[in-house]
Every structure is written in C-alpha cells, then in structure tokens.
Structure 1
Amino acid sequence: MGRAEDRRARQGGGRRRAAPKDSAERSGIRRFFTWKKLLGSFFGLCLLGMAAFVAMYLFIDVPKGSAAAVEAQRQSNIYKYSDGTVLARQGKVNREIVDLAEVPKPVQRTFVAAENKSFYKDAGVDFKGTARGLINTLSGKGKQGGSTITQQYVKNYYLEQDQTVTRKLKELVISLKVDRTTSKDDILAGYINTSYYGRNAYGIQAAAQAYYRVDASKLTVEQGAYLAAVLQAPSQYDWAVATDTGRELVKQRWAYVLNNMVEENWLDSAKRDDMKFPVPKEPKGAPGLEGQNGYLWDAANRALQKQLVAQGTASDLDEAEKMVTAGGWTITLNIDKKKQTQLEKAVKSQLTSKLDAKKRKVDADVQAGAVSVDPKTGRVVAVYGGVDYLKHYTNNATRRDYQPASTFKPVILAAAVEEEAETQDGTPITADTIYDGTSKRPVRDNGKKVGFAPPNEDDVDYGDVTVQTAMNKSINSVFAQMGVDVGMDQVMKTAGDLGMDTADLQAVPAQTLGSMGASPMEMAGVYATLANHGKKVTPALIKSVEHKDRTVEIPDAIGDQVISPEAADTVTSVLTGVVDDGTAKTSVRDNPARDGQQVAGKTGTSDCNRSAWFTGYTPKLVTSVGLFGEAAKAGTTRCEKDKPAVKIKAFSQVTLSGAAGGGRVNGGGFPAAIWAAYTFNAMGDVSKFDLDTEQGSGVQPTFTPPPTEEPTEPTEEPTTEEPTEEPTTEEPPTEEPTEEPTEEPTEEPTDPIEPTEEPTDPIDPPEDGGGEGDADEGPVVP
C-alpha cells in the first residue's frame, strides 16, 4: 500500500466513506448547470437573436409610403344625433407639407434639441430606448419615450400607432435602413411634417397656424421651442386647455429645449436669457363647427379618447387623440335633437338676449354652460357649451375651473344621512335637526375651534334653524359645522362616490362652501345619482361608435349603489324645499309652465360672484346650469365696490355682478330661469318623486298654515359652542321657515330671511339669502 493510500486509510478508520447525499445531488445539478453551459446558452441566445435580426433586416423592406396617412387624409369623422341624423362631419387631417428650407434653421434645431441631440451623428436608432420600450410593452406599461427623430419619423410615416412588439421591431429595422438611404435633412423634414401637435394639427405648418397664426417660415426660436416641447404631450401641454400643472410642465420643457440649444452652441446664452415664454393664441374652430356643434364635437372626441385609453386600445390620451383625428369614425351621440334645441332657446330667451356688451362691459364677460341628463339611463340629452364654438373655444359644459359653491351642500347632507352622523352634542342629523345659523359662527370639533367661521350671504344671522331651512336659505354657517360633524374625510369620500373628481382635494372645512372646481357635466352626474335613488350615474355623451379597424366598448352609464336609497331620497326631499320655499322659488316655483311638476334643486353663487349655478331635477330629467365670469379682454376688475381694483388678463375669472343691468347674479336668477324655461318644455308628462324617506319638504306639505297654538315646550339646546340661556321653541311641524317664534326675545326682525323691500328681479332675487356671496374670501378666525 502506498503512503497516500495508507494515510487515507488511517483517516477513514480503515474504510472508505460514501459521499454525502446532498453532495451527490449537487454534482447532478452541476452536470446540467455548469458555468460553461450557462455561458454557452447565453452566447447561443445572442447568436439566435442576431440571426433573427439579420433575417428581419433582410426581409423587412422600407414601405413605399404611409398607407395609414394617405387613408386618413381621405376620411372624415361623422357625428350623429341619437336619432341618426347627421350633426357634423369633421376629421380630415389638417396637414400642409413644407420644405425644410422654409423653416428657419434655428427653429429646425429646436426639435433636435428637444428630442435627439445626437441626431446628426447617430445611425438613426437608440438601442437602449428601443429595448426599454419593448420591455414596457411586454410588461403592459404602455408608451415609452427615448426614440430618435428617425424612429419617430418612421413610426409617423410608415407604421401604425399601435404599441406592439412587432411594430417596435419593424420600427427599429426600417429606421436603420432609412438612415442609410435618406439624408438627415429629409428625415428631419419628414418628422416635423408628420408629427401631431394637438389642435387637430399635423405638421409644423398647421401647428404654426393653430398656435401662433403665422406660417412656419415666420416662427421665432421661442415659438419653435414651444412647438417642439408640445410634441411630447399635446393633450397635456396645449396652453389653452392645460391645467396649472400642465402649463408649468410645458414651460419647463420649453426651457429645457432652449438650454440644450445653448449647450450645443446653437443659441447664444445671452439671447437665451432674454427670451420670454411665447403664450399661444386661443384655438380657432374649423368651418362646420359653428354654434353648439363644435362643443358637441369636442366633448364627443374627448369622451372617445378617454374610452380608448380605458379599454387599452391607446396607451395615453395623446395616442388616442391621434387615432380619433386620423378619421374614419362614425360617432352617434345620446343628444336628443329636440331637447338640444329647447336648451339653446332657453339660454337665448333667459340670458343672452338680455346681454349687451356695448352698453355694459360686464356683459361681455358672461359665459353660460349647461348639461341635461336622463337619470334613469345616464344619457346626456342636451348640452350648452357657450355662445358659439368659433367665438369661444372653451366648452363651458365641461370646464372644471369654477367653484360649484352651494350646489355642494346636498353632498354634505347626503354624507350625514348615509353615515347616520350626529351633531357635536350627539343629536342625529336629520332634516329637522336644529343648527345655529349665526353668520361667522366659529366651527367647532370636539369643543375646539377649527379656525373656520364663514359668513352667510350679506352676513345675515338666522339664529336657530332646522337643516331643512338651512338648505332652503343656503346658510353657510350651518353646513360648515355639519361638514365637521360628519367628518370632512367622509364628506369628500361621498362626493367622490357621487361622481365628483376629488382626487387632488384636501378634506378641509372650507370645502363645505363648494370651493373646489367642478363642471356642469360633473354636477349633473352628482344630482342624477341622487335622482336615481343613490345608484351611480356617469353622464354618457356617446351612444355608439363604429370604425372599420377598431371596436369601442361603451360602458354602462348606470353603476353600483353608492349611497343608500334612503340617503339619496332624503336629500331629494329636502331639495324640494329650495324650490318651494327657498332660493329658487321665484324662477321655478311660480313659473306658469310648471303645471304642478315636482322639482328638487339647489342654487349656488361663488366667492366674488364669479359663478352662479342652479342644478335641479324632476324624476325624469336632471339639468345643471352654470354662469361663469370670464374676462373678455385684459383690464381691471374689483370684487366689490369697496375693494380695490386689480389688473387681470383675458380669460381671468371676474365677477358677474351688474350683468344685464342688474345687481348680484345669484343662482336663483338667470341659472334657475334658464333651467325652468328648458325643463318645463322638455320634461314630458308631469311626474312625482317616489321617495323612500320620511324626512324633508318633499314628504310634508310646505305651505300648510302653522298650528293655532305654537308649542311652548323648550327644545334641546342647539348645536352651538355657547348654549343660550333663553329657551327656543320647536319649529312648527309644517317647517314654515320664514317665521321666528314670537315668544323668543330677539333684536332681529321677525322675518330676517326674506325682506319684502328687496326687488324680485331674477338677477338678484331676495330669496337667495343663503351662504354663497363672498364666503370664500377667507375664514374669519376668532
């Protein structure tokens, strides 16, 4: 035996040991997964990928032209009323090809600086960006930037817009071939002439006209930098419709473009420092979109674009916009032709015919918007977007930049009833609950002041009132306290459930005044949900969509039960009091065309009288009407006579006060008058609410005389931070809101709610004494 064998024998006790089981298993695994095999597999995959790419390169040819673009230029979109009659034809691609030599060289470079600084040096492909795009497509993340100008030109000119792996691979191969066979100037010209800039503008010439009313040859560097910046997100960056965030983002990208030009020595830094952002001009509508047609066209397009994104056909709104503007769509709207005409006539007879901008400057600042919805189906049957789409581009029916004011108060009551909320002293909140309606009463939470004490309109003190009376008279101080009693988080949740966009809103007491932004379309949906006994109604403008290459699913406008029928019906019942004995009675209750129709609704007038609303409904029809003060041109404005004038730009929010020669424009004035003139003609047969509640004016006779002997039994203390030592008497069972108990000593007049000496002109009705006015000017902190 050798020494090695002898040593092993001694160590092993004279016998050989078997290898451990797990060691044997590892040895087996290693036989299959050695580093050599892994490395070989990797190189094998690389070779396969290279072979596949070579095959694609050999077999994929550069198309002769963009069949999609040629086809798009032949097609129009057709828009129809619900009965199938044609409303408008629109959608021919707005494109005019210009030679690159017609575009100033510095403007050409703005696009290179924005999208692809290495454009003049690269081979036409960004492999990292393409790989990232492929990964995002496979993982479902959608659109991904990072492509070169050549790749974007190839996508625009030769390929469809679909986000698929096949399309991206084709884009890669064709871009390499195009870069080899086409000059950089021709590629850049193709890119700026085929890109979509928003405003239905394809190509730099159409974009220059759409945004700055000049030809491409007259563009400045600043304007070119904006057009280059807007390409990244036309829907978000179009200055005319962008949010504050969108405007800030496009200004940042505009600066990024110019800074890149300085970095590439294409722009002098001193000149760059002197450059100011070139605000684009307001959009102009195309022929055929006069009057309300343009607003319906615009709203239908936006609704279709959102649906294309929602169902995954488009990765984002910009891609969806390209699909829609490419043409070939037949879009049938839910608009009822007869009701549409009736709504237009109502606005003209009750408002626009009374405005005269030559006599009164403020009359030029008045904008109206309205949306009418069938609460049983969710169909939008009529829309008023403004006086004329070609004269005022912004759609007043869908804009969200004005406060809904006191039309938000029913949401607070809905949250209270739904959550079975209680006042600070533990009393359940119902239509009969007593609140302190003193103006500027500090709001309290668990005995502590929250730093919010809103005034009522005209600073009127109402004393102890029921919730029903507070809704009738739109008393700010009551609903501010109620919001805190319910919990502002819950109030905002209920608002979202009913259909308001509350994603970016803070749950603070000031929201009880309706200080957020909302549109007539949005508020019509909220009230339609109430009218539909708490089942969610999302207003649906589109009835059906047809396209030879795409299928569009139209979602059901009626959704889930978002609040209980009892909560919704209680709010409806209470809102009948606003019409029968509150801020809307002059225009609605006493209208001779009413013919006994039961109506629920709420007025609203925002801070500084910048907006005025009436949103009301019958069992069959919900309509929201808003008036908005929008400066027709730059100048000065003042909120009230005793406040200083401030400088404003065109389209700034300004007061409506003085419109048509009257005083303050309240929700019970023009908006309610428009609502009544339209609804009582369009509603059909007279109908009654079927309510599952025992609360509110809708289930009690509003005008029944009070008992001959008023109750003398003192009520529970009202929910106020400082209980009074004087007992208050119960409200009569008829809830007559205009009479104060005569036994209670008070320095107020016996009828402070409705002074008889005030005029009854619909411009400034006396009954709109609720909490609207200038309540949002800032909380009064004790």
Structure 2
Amino acid sequence: MSSDHTGKPKRSGAGQNKQNGGKRPQGRKRSRGRVIRRTLLLLLIVFLVVPAALFGYSYYNSEVPHPADLRNSQIATIVAADDATVISRMASAEGNRVNVTLDDVPVHVRTAILAAEDRTFYENPGFSVRGFVRAARDNITGREDAGGGSTITQQYVKNTVVGSDRSLERKWRELVLAARMAREWSKDDVLLAYLNTIYFGRNSYGIATAAQSYFGKPLADLTVEEGAVIAAVITRPSALDNANDSDALRARWNYVLDGMVEMNALRPSERSDMVFPTILPFDQVPDPNAATGNEGLIRAQVVRELERVGVDQEALDTRGVRIVTTIDPKAQDAALTAVSDIMTGEPERLRTAVVSIDPQSGAVKAYYGGPQGQGYDFAQAPLQTGSSFKVFGLVAALQEGIPLSARYDSSPVNIGNLRITNVAGESCGVCNIAEALKRSLNTSYYRLTLSMSNGAQKIADAAHAAGIPAEIPGLPGKSLSEDGGAPETGIVLGQYQVRPIDMASAYGTLAASGIYHEPYFVQRVVAADGEVLYERAASEGEQRIEKAVAENATQAMLPIAAYSRGNSLAGGRPSAAKTGTTQLGDTGLNKDAWMVGYTPSLSTAVWVGSENSEAILNRWGSSIYGSTLPSSIWKNTMDGALSGTEVESFPWPDPIAGQAGVPTYEPPAPVQRAPQRQSPSQPSPVSPPQVQIPQLPPPPQFQEVEIFPGIRIPLPVR
C-alpha cells in the first residue's frame, strides 16, 4: 500500500483503475483474447482444416470409373437375319433405355434439363457445398425429405456409383467422387451419361425412352414445350406424372421455361406464347417387354439359346445388345400369312404350329408356335406324329439293306386280338414300300417293322440319328420309348410324341443327304459399343445317315405332296413330303394332323390340332387330316418362302440292294381262274358257277387297337 501527498494511504487497485480510466487490467484482456483466438483456431481446424484434409485424402484415394465402365441397363433388340427387321425387344426392370449420343439430344432439350436441375452445370466444380450442408443437416435431424441441392454430376454419381441410401458417409463419397469426376470427365461426358441413366417415370430410363413414353415420338422430334415437360418430371417422376398431378407438373414446367429465359436460351416473347403440350395417356405407353404376338415365342427361344451359348443376363441387361437371329423375314411372313389365310373362318379352338429350317445349316428361318406371345408354344409341344413317322421306318429299312423295291402285303394284319387296317380299307395288294409310303398304308409298314430284327428299336435309332432328341422337354425319360424302355412296334405308325421343331429338323437331315445340323436361332450378338459378344461358327454338320439311304428316302417321298390333294409346290418345284394324322381314341375322329416336307434348301413342319387333344373338325364339321389344312399351310409357306429362288433338284441316289430310286409300280393283276374241264360223261352246265373271293367285312374307318394287354395305341391315318 502507498500514500498520496496528504500522507493518506491509497489502494493500489483503485489508483490503477483511475490511471487506466476505469478499464479492466490489460493482462486479463490479453488472456481472454487468447482464449477466443484459440477457440476460433480450434473451430477452424474442426470445420475447415480437418474436412479439407479428409476431403483431400478421400479425393486422392478414390477412383473415378471411366464412362465406358459405368454400364447402365439398356434395351436389348432382337432383329431378323437381315439385321434390320425388329422382331422384339427386351428390357430389365431398369433397362428400357436406348443410349444416345449428345448430338442426338436437341439443344433445347439439353437446356431444359439444365434449367430444371443445374443451371450452373458448366461452371460449377461438380458439387454444391450448400447442398451438402443442407443434406447433412436434414439427415441429422431426420427429415423425411432429406437430400436435395445436388448438381447433375452428384446425381449421376448417386445413381451409378454410391447409391441413394440416407447416410452422411454416402453423401460424403458422392461429394468426393463428383469433384473428381468433374476434373477427369468432360462436362459433355457427364451430361450425356446423366441423360442416358436417370429415371423419368413411366418405367422409363434414359431420355430417349422418356420421349417415347411421354409423347410417343423420337427424341429428335421433341418440341421446346415437350422437352420442358421431360425436364420437369426429373425431380419427382412418379408424383409429377400428368396422370397423377397435372397442376404440380404444370408449375414445374413453368419453372423450367422461366429458367431457360434466365439462361438466355429462350426469348421472353417465345416463352409467353408456349402452351402446355398433350401427354400420351399412361395406358398407351409402349412396353418394351410386351410381346403379345408370336414374336414373344421367338424371343423366348432366343433367350434360352443365349443362355446355352454363354451370353449372360448381365450382358443382355447392360450392353444394349443387338441380337441378330436366323429368322428370314420373307419366310416368316409366308408362314404367318399361310396360317392366317388358311385358318381364317376355321373353329377358334384349333391351334397351329409351323417351323421352317435351312437343311444346310440348321438355321430356323420361320417359326410360329401360336398367336399368344406369352402363351403355350405348340412348336415346342410333344405331339403324336401319325403316319409322318413312317419315313423313319423307311430309313431304318434302307439302312438294313431293304430296297425301295421290297414288297409287302397291305391286307389287314391280325396278331392275336390285334387287328390293323388301312384308312377306308385301302390296299395295294402286295406292293413296294415306296408305293405303300405314298398311300400311307399302315399294314405294309407294320409288316415291314416286324420283318426287321428288333425293328421298332431300329426305327427309333434312325429317328434319333436324323435329329429327334433322345430327351424331349415335357416328356419323362427317353423319347420314342415305352416308359424309358424299348419302343413298341406301333412306333412306325406315329405312336410316340415329337415336337414340330424336331420333325422339321429331322426331315431336314434327309434333305441334306443325311447330314445333321443342330437347329438354332441366334447368329450373332453385338453390344452397343460394337463389341461382338457371340457369333455362331459355320458348321459342316455331321453325317448321321448314309447318303444313299437319305437320298433314296427322298425319292420315295417326292410324289406325296401332289398325291395329298394336289399340294405340290408352285412351278413344279420338287419336294419330298409326308402327311400324318392321329385319331382320338376310338371316336372315329382325329386329334392331330401333320404335313412335313422339304426342298434342298428348306424343311417345314406343320401341325394342326387343339389345346386339349380334342377332336379337330373344320368349319364344315368334317375331320381334319394331314392332307387338308396342314398341307395347304405347308404349301403356302413353302411357296411364299421360296418364290423367286432357283428351282432345285434332289441328287439321284446310289442304289441299295441294286435298286436306286422308286421302281415302277405295277398294280396287282386281277384274279383269273381257268375254266373247269368237263368229263365226257357229264353234261355241260347251263352256266358256270360264279367264283366268289371271300372278303372280310369292311373295318371301321378309325379304331384304337390293343397291341399287348393293357397297351392300346391310336391307329394313325394319312
């Protein structure tokens, strides 16, 4: 304590306060300032330095994929063999998109997108700090509408790389990758990737698909008003659809157009004259997976084949593939026209299948399995073949060295309780097997089968060699067999089930002089970037049936198309064919009718039947046979597919057992009896007695026969 000039002591603090003008001590001020500075520094470190450091670390340790590496789902297109005619399209759940180039997008549509989603796109660094902070705040507070404020770059990263789950970690990755992407990608690349990726509502992914979904027109044809609609729906695609909330969509549409004015992309005078465009009703939106007609059945076969050859689903979903099939537009149109022309006016419950195959390659040229794209495919249905299977009985006989000149009795066959006859009691007496094939005589071919050691099995083996699969989908066990065991003798009469596609293929083997080619639908698969993912290699095929055998069988089949109600091909074009019909139990009615035949360049199988194996009757109430509707469809299909092509001849065969081709048919001579010699002691009768040849009563036209106890088969007819 000190004293003043009066000698009175004074308090040091009071005097100090007076000297400092009543202010606080300088040291305390300095201490508080130091705390503030340290606090600010700490805040700087926490909110700026640390995030910046983390951002830098994340930035330099992240990898931004190349645009080509970010494959999005796209439409796969199936085209015909001409690589132009579209058969069908396929899309995954998020794949109904067709990628376009930036030049394909009109400038006014691009500007509308920027006005709606990111007006500073070409200037910003790829991210919005303000948007990130707002998203962080909303996520922390649990707001339902958390997010928003993202740039186009951020939206693209979210859609293709980091996903859309609500977390700060995901948002951080989005920010880092967007910043790096903005430096490593060009702005045009980012915009294009965005336009090809985002969802526009109406199950539409990518801007090209959106143009079709909202306005039913190509992207290049969108007007300014229409482009603004598509841009407007991006923020809330489902909620803003015209069918759900047109007022909200109109408000957003106006926002987009006003933005275009602000960006100097649209003059105010133009803007004021614009009217909200008419949007396509939702029920008229094209569905890339809709295949209501027969093309859907072709698509199903293509997909199965692609799986077998190793083109996986991911490639189909993400590569924008173009699948070039073997379908010939001309042949396909001929088949569809034939079915339509011949079946129009017939009972609606009748069903038809048509398959045409190139015998020289196995390529499926025409395919019709029914009118419903998502329905049952009758071209793949196991069906009884009737007398069209006799051809394989002939092949088996020729392989055994039995020539076409071999003769067999055509009278009824009686084996125990089994009686086999021909249609309407037809007979050729004892005639060669080529004539018996033309007339489709059951009795001659049943005897032919019995004459060969283990004949039924040899017929099955011949059919398998020609192309009938050992196992047929939909049938248990081994095909052409009795419960997986040995086949019955009725195999030659078409007792067992075979698919139309297999009949076309197996007959095609005969057309190719015994060389088998596996039937196929897909020629090549090319990705949108030009990479060939699959191309079928050319094949010389496999010689499964001796050349002489196949070519002699062909010669026996040459007269049949003309014999079957005049269904020979136009212009005298040579063809080898066989009809077939199977009956419905013992009803006297038919349930399956076939015509299968070929030229050197096309093999076609036609089946007519019903969905539930019912009796098949035509519009006049008459039974349908192979020589009626199926033969007419076959002729029209073949004529249409082959019109304008060279008329080809079949090669002349080498002989089998000294016989090449069909021998001349000689009808059996009438029975003549010599007059009786008269004894001189006996008077001559007034008139000689008439000699009556015993005749069996005419059998029923159709019947079901029992080959062995408990085993009954329908007798097929021509």
Alignment TM-score, normalising by the size of structure 2: 0.52
Report the residue type matching 1:552 in the other structure.
Y
- The residue aligned with 1:329 is 321
Report the residue type matching 2:555 in the other structure.
S
- CA separation of 1:461/1:691 partners in 2, compared to 1, >3 Å: closer, same or farther? closer
Shift of 1:580: 4.1
Shift of 1:736: 4.9
What is the correspondence of 1:256-405 to structure 2 with a 5 Å cutoff? Answer: 288-308=290-310, 324=316, 328-351=320-343, 353-355=344-346, 363-389=347-373, 393-397=375-379, 399-405=380-386
Pick the aligned partner of 2:523 from 520, 527, 543. Answer: 543
- CA separation of 1:510/1:546 partners in 2, compared to 1, >3 Å: closer, same or farther? same
Report the residue type matching 2:381 in the other structure.
R
Work out whether 1:623 is the aligned partner of 2:623. Answer: no
676-685 or 608-617, larger mean C-alpha shift: 676-685
Work out whether 1:430 is the aligned partner of 2:411. Answer: no
1:468-512 CA-partner distances (Å, limit 9, x unpaired): 222112122222332341522222222111100134032321222
- The residue aligned with 1:471 is 437
- Decide whether the 8 Å contact of 2:515 with 2:541 is kept in 1: yes
Work out whether 1:577 is the aligned partner of 2:559. Answer: yes
Shift of 1:295: 2.2
Runs of at least 5 residues in structure 1 that lack an aligned partner in the other structure? 1-62, 97-180, 182-205, 207-284, 314-319, 356-362, 421-428, 443-448, 631-651, 702-732, 754-768
1:151-170 CA-partner distances (Å, limit 9, x unpaired): xxxxxxxxxxxxxxxxxxxx
- Decide whether the 8 Å contact of 1:625 with 1:674 is kept in 2: yes
Report the residue type matching 2:345 in the other structure.
K
- The residue aligned with 2:468 is 500
- Decide whether the 8 Å contact of 2:370 with 2:378 is kept in 1: yes
SS at structure 1 position matched to 2:360: coil
Structure showing greater radius of gyration is 2
- Decide whether the 8 Å contact of 2:403 with 2:656 is kept in 1: yes
Work out whether 1:554 is the aligned partner of 2:536. Answer: yes
- Decide whether the 8 Å contact of 1:93 with 1:327 is kept in 2: no
Instruction: Give the Cα–Cα distance (whole angstroms) in 2 for the partners of residues 569 and 533 of structure 1.
Output: 6
- The residue aligned with 1:689 is 650
Instruction: Give the Cα–Cα distance (whole angstroms) in 2 for the partners of residues 665 and 695 of structure 1.
Output: 36
1:725-773 CA-partner distances (Å, limit 9, x unpaired): xxxxxxxx63156x66354874569xx99xxxxxxxxxxxxxxx9xxx5
- Decide whether the 8 Å contact of 2:524 with 2:533 is kept in 1: no
1:385-426 CA-partner distances (Å, limit 9, x unpaired): 223425xx12222x2321122111111111211232xxxxxx
- CA separation of 1:567/1:474 partners in 2, compared to 1, >3 Å: closer, same or farther? same
May I ask how many residue pairs the two structures share in their alignment? 420
Report the residue type matching 1:666 in the other structure.
Y
Shift of 1:774: 4.9
- The residue aligned with 2:219 is none
- The residue aligned with 2:256 is none
- CA separation of 1:380/1:372 partners in 2, compared to 1, >3 Å: closer, same or farther? same
Report the residue type matching 2:329 in the other structure.
K
What is the correspondence of 1:198-213 to structure 2 with a 5 Å cutoff? Answer: none
Instruction: Give the Cα–Cα distance (whole angstroms) in 1 for the partners of residues 332 and 307 of structure 2.
Output: 23
Work out whether 1:588 is the aligned partner of 2:567. Answer: yes
What is the correspondence of 1:79-478 to structure 2 with a 5 Å cutoff? Answer: 79-94=78-93, 288-308=290-310, 324=316, 328-351=320-343, 353-355=344-346, 363-389=347-373, 393-397=375-379, 399-420=380-401, 429-442=402-415, 453-458=419-424, 460=426, 463-478=429-444
1:320-377 CA-partner distances (Å, limit 9, x unpaired): 66765677432101111122112211111122x122xxxxxxx232111111122223
Shift of 1:457: 3.3
Work out whether 1:654 is the aligned partner of 2:614. Answer: yes
- Decide whether the 8 Å contact of 1:365 with 1:654 is kept in 2: no
- The residue aligned with 1:672 is 631
Instruction: Give the Cα–Cα distance (whole angstroms) in 1 for the partners of residues 620 and 364 of structure 2.
Output: 33
Instruction: Give the Cα–Cα distance (whole angstroms) in 1 for the partners of residues 448 and 572 of structure 2.
Output: 33
SS at structure 1 position matched to 2:574: coil
SS at structure 1 position matched to 2:650: coil
- The residue aligned with 1:598 is 574
- Decide whether the 8 Å contact of 1:539 with 1:557 is kept in 2: no
SS at structure 2 position matched to 1:567: helix
- CA separation of 1:89/1:292 partners in 2, compared to 1, >3 Å: closer, same or farther? closer
- Across the aligned residues of Structure 1 and Structure 2, the Cα RMSD in angstroms comes to 4.0
Runs of at least 5 residues in structure 2 that lack an aligned partner in the other structure? 1-62, 96-168, 170-202, 204-286, 472-477, 585-589, 674-691, 713-718
1:502-553 CA-partner distances (Å, limit 9, x unpaired): 3403232122222222222111111111011111122222221234788435
- The residue aligned with 1:140 is none
Identity rate of aligned residues, in percent? 23
Instruction: Give the Cα–Cα distance (whole angstroms) in 2 for the partners of residues 776 and 529 of structure 1.
Output: 32
Shift of 1:83: 1.0
Report the residue type matching 2:373 in the other structure.
Y
